Structure 1
C-alpha cells in the first residue's frame, strides 16, 4: 500500500491486515505524539487527520487511529501532530491552544489539536466562519480528563484567519499555508496508483466485479467497512485477523441518491456522508445522526455496519423500522434478495444474513420520508454515548386523521421493536385526540417489558418511552417542545447550570 505520511511517501507491503494506524505511527515510525488511551475509539487521544482527493480538492477528516487498519488508508495523506509544526512554526490550532491555555496534563492535547486543525483546514479553505457548534462537533470525540473544555472551545473559536495573521505578524513570521491548498501533497496523491490488492492480506475492491473476485479468491476472509466495531475484536479481545476485504470503496455500495419513489442508501455510506446529504432534505435525520458516536467515528462508521452488527442499542435500526425500509442483500455469487427491516432481526445478535451474504443497500419510501417523523435519543451525554432509550416516530395524516402510525424503539429489548398496540390505539383517530393518546400510552405500558442494565432501569425506560410518545404527539399538534439536539448552549447555562438564573 502507498500513502503519504506527513510529507513522506510510504510504500509498505509487510503489515498484518489488522495492524492499526496507531501502532504503525508509534512502533514503526517513532511518531509518539499520537497517544493510545482507550483502544476502542472512545477517547480521541489517537486522533489522526487524513486527507483525500475528492473531485480534485483535498479535504481532511479525523479518525481514531487505534481502530483503523493502516492499510485502509492507502492513497491518503496521513497527518500526525508532529507534521503541524514541521516548518518550525505552530499551526493555527496549536497557536490557539497555547494562547487560550487549552492544555493541562497534555495527554489528550495532540488529539484535540488535530481535531481543531481539521476544522480549521476545512472551514478556512471554504471561507466559512467557525462557530461554537462547529468547534464542539469537531472535538466531540475527544475526552479531557482534566475537564478543560472551556479553554479548548475558546481556542477553537479564536482560530480565525484574521486573528492568526495578527499573531504571526507580531512575531514577524509568514502566515501558515493551508494543508488543503498544498499543491505538493495534491500532486503526490494524484501520482499514487491505487491498487485494490494492497497486499496478500488486505484487499480494497472498487466495484462489485472486483469484490466478487476477492470473495471467491479468499472465501475465509472477513469483511470490513469502517471497522469501528469489528476492530474492537482486535484491540479489546486480541483476535488476530488473517485476510480482510475492505468494502468501503466499492462504488455500488456507496450510492446515495433519490430515485422516483425511494431513497437508496448504500451500505458503505458513512454516517458523515448521510449527515451531509440529509442536512437540508431531512433535517430530523440529520439531527439524529449528529447524536451518534463522535465525529471521528461518523467519518468511518457505515450505515450497513450499524445495521448488520445487530446491536440492540444501535440507533439506525429504529429509524429504518419507522420507515418500513427494505434491505437489499447481496450474495457472493452476485444474486440479490430483499428483506424488510421488520423481518431482518431474528434475536439478539441474530439476523437473516446468510454466511455468503452482505448488506448492499437500503430503500426508503419517499412518501413515508415526506410524512411527519421525529427521532429521540436519550443518553447521559450528547455524543459518543449509547442510548438508554431510542424512539423513532412516523405519523401519516389524512384529513386530520392518523392513517398510519409507527413507534420503533431501540435500547429496550434484544432487538429493535415496535409498539404495535400503541400504534393501533392511535390509528384512525384524530391527530388531536388526547384520549387516544392516553390509550396508546396505556397500551405501551402493557406491551413493553424493557430490560434493566447499567444504563437505565426498566421503569425508567418505560416511563421515558411513554413520555417520548407524548412528546411526538405534541410536536405533531404544533406544540413547541424543548429538545437539546446540538451544542448551541448559552454562556449562562455553562457558567451557572441554569438558563437566565441570577445570584444575590
Structure 2
C-alpha cells in the first residue's frame, strides 16, 4: 500500500498499475482534467503539478517544500508519503488563487491549454520565493511552453503574484498539513501491486539491496524522467520497479574538506548549491539542464546510470576525477566514473548492483564547462565539454578533458590530454591539442548536429577555454550557440 495526500484528502492505494503516471491518475481515475497532456515527455510543462514534502530547514524547523513536477513523467508510486496539488486545488471558497488571478489580470492566457501548467509553476515559484527577480521567474517558467503567444504577460503575472504575495489556504493550513504528512510518513517498504506488475518502495539502502538481489530484473526508479519515457513514448510495460526516492541515505549531500559525497537519489536541484559553490561552471550548467520540473525530479545518479552519451553531468564529473560507489548486497566498490561507461548504454554495473553515491573531489580551480545546444533552455546537448588543467609556471602538469555527444559514451580525450601535458600553456599548444581531438573522436551526424559541426565545436571550446583563462574578464561561463 502507498499513502499520500491529494491536497487535503488522504488517498490509500493498493492495487493501482505501477506504470500509471500521475497525469493519467488525475485525469482517468479522479476525473481531474485540468492537468493537460501536451507531449508526454516532460518538454512542454502543460502537465505540471506541485508536490509537497516534509523538509527540515537550516534552522531545524519543519516546513513543507513545494516543487513543480511533470506529472506525465511521475509514477504514482513516487507520491508515497507526500502531498499532491493539482490546478483544481488552488481555487478556494469560490475565489481564484492569487496566481490564477494574476494570469487573468495580466492577460497571460490565450487558448488556455498550457495555462494550468503555467499556473502550477507560478504557484511553486510563489511558495519558494519572496519577490523573485526576473532570472528566477524565467527559471521557474522555462519548462512551460506556450504555442499561442509571447511570454511577457505571463512574466508580468509572475511579478504580480509573487511580490507582496497574500496568504492563501495552504499557508493557513500548513501546521495541519505538516501533522498529516507526519502521520502518513512511511515506516516500512511500500508497494503497489496490480497482480502482474508491482513497484516496491524501500526506505533504506539495506532494504534496497535486499530487494534488488531478490528482483535483479527490476528497473530502478529515481526521478523517472528517463525511465517513464519507456511507458509514455515507447508503450512498454515495466513489470517490476523499485522506487529509491524515499531512501534518505541516498538523498544527502555531505560536504567534506576534500570532497563532496552526493547520494545517487539526490535531485539535481538539490545538488546545485554544493556544486555551484565549489565549481561555478557546474552550477551554471545545471541551470541549463532541461527544465526546473526535470531538475526537481531527475537525480544525479540517474543521469549517470542511464549511460546516455549526451547526459550533461558525466563529462563534468569525469573531468573532475569523480568516483561512484556501487553497492550489491553488503558489498561496496568504488569505481572511477570514466571506467563505468563501456559502450553505448553499456556499463560496468553488475546484476543487482546500484549506484549508492557519487564522490566529487574539491580544489580544481581551473575547471570550466560548456554546453552547446540549439536552445538556451530546456534542450539536450549537441556537445558538452569539460576542461580541468593544472598549470604551474606556465607549464601544464595535468590535464583532464572530457566530452559528451562526441562518442557512444561520455569520454576523456586522451590524445588531446597527451598533447597538453608537459607543454607550455600557449596558443601553439592549444592548436596541437585541437588537432589531436580528431584522433580522439569520430562523432556521428544526427538531427542535433553534423559530425563536422561537433568536431569543430569541440575544438573551438578548447580555444575558448584558453582565451578565458588568459583573459578572465571576458569569461562567459556555460555557452550556447543558437
Per-residue CA distance 1:439-472 (angstroms, 9 max, x = gap) = 2222224443221111111111111111110111
Q: 1:72 aligns with which of 62, 70, 78?
A: 78
Aligned to 2:189: 196
CA shift, 1:424, in A, is 2.1
CA shift, 1:145, in A, is 1.2
Q: 1:300 aligns with which of 293, 297, 300?
A: 297
- Measured in 2, the distance between the counterparts of 1:144 and 1:161 equals 23
Q: 2:260 aligns with which of 250, 258, 263?
A: 263
Is residue 228–residue 301 contact of structure 1 (8 Å, CA) maintained in 2? yes
Answering whether residue 382 of structure 2 is matched by residue 388 of structure 1, we say yes
Q: 2:237 aligns with which of 240, 259, 262?
A: 240
Aligned to 2:176: 184
* Residues 31 and 282 of structure 1, relative CA distance in 2, 3 Å threshold: same
CA shift, 1:364, in A, is 2.1
- Measured in 2, the distance between the counterparts of 1:458 and 1:218 equals 41
Which has the higher mean CA deviation after the structures are superposed, 313-322 or 111-120? 313-322
Is residue 260–residue 360 contact of structure 2 (8 Å, CA) maintained in 1? yes
Aligned to 2:43: 42
- Measured in 2, the distance between the counterparts of 1:243 and 1:41 equals 23
Is residue 130–residue 159 contact of structure 1 (8 Å, CA) maintained in 2? no
CA shift, 1:189, in A, is 1.3
Per-residue CA distance 1:280-300 (angstroms, 9 max, x = gap) = 333221101111111111111
CA shift, 1:302, in A, is 0.9
- Which runs of structure 2 are paired with 1:52-71 in the superposition (5 Å)? 52-55=53-56, 56-71=62-77
Per-residue CA distance 1:77-113 (angstroms, 9 max, x = gap) = 1110011113222222111111111111110100000
- Which runs of structure 2 are paired with 1:458-469 in the superposition (5 Å)? 458-469=451-462
Per-residue CA distance 1:117-170 (angstroms, 9 max, x = gap) = 1000111xxxx32111111111111111113312111211222443x66xxxxx
- Measured in 2, the distance between the counterparts of 1:212 and 1:412 equals 34
- Which runs of structure 2 are paired with 1:432-451 in the superposition (5 Å)? 433-451=426-444
- Measured in 2, the distance between the counterparts of 1:454 and 1:358 equals 33
- Which runs of structure 2 are paired with 1:94-105 in the superposition (5 Å)? 94-105=100-111
What runs of 5+ residues in structure 2 fail to find an aligned partner? 57-61
Per-residue CA distance 1:361-385 (angstroms, 9 max, x = gap) = 2222224xx3211110000112221
Aligned to 1:2: 3
Residue aligned with 1:468, SS: helix
CA shift, 1:214, in A, is 2.4
Is residue 131–residue 163 contact of structure 2 (8 Å, CA) maintained in 1? no
Per-residue CA distance 1:281-331 (angstroms, 9 max, x = gap) = 332211011111111111111111111111111111101110122221111
Aligned to 2:134: 132
Is residue 368–residue 477 contact of structure 2 (8 Å, CA) maintained in 1? no
Aligned to 2:247: 250
Aligned to 1:379: 373
TM-score, structure 1 as length reference: 0.89
Q: 1:413 aligns with which of 403, 407, 415?
A: 407
- Measured in 1, the distance between the counterparts of 2:276 and 2:339 equals 29
Aligned to 2:25: 24
- Measured in 2, the distance between the counterparts of 1:58 and 1:217 equals 35
TM-score, structure 2 as length reference: 0.92
Answering whether residue 150 of structure 2 is matched by residue 148 of structure 1, we say yes
- Measured in 2, the distance between the counterparts of 1:343 and 1:111 equals 41
Answering whether residue 218 of structure 2 is matched by residue 221 of structure 1, we say yes
Q: 1:309 aligns with which of 292, 306, 310?
A: 306
CA shift, 1:272, in A, is 0.5
CA shift, 1:5, in A, is 0.7
Q: 1:351 aligns with which of 347, 350, 365?
A: 347
Is residue 121–residue 179 contact of structure 1 (8 Å, CA) maintained in 2? no
Is residue 371–residue 478 contact of structure 2 (8 Å, CA) maintained in 1? no
Question: RMSD in angstroms over aligned alpha carbons?
Answer: 2.1
CA shift, 1:484, in A, is 7.4
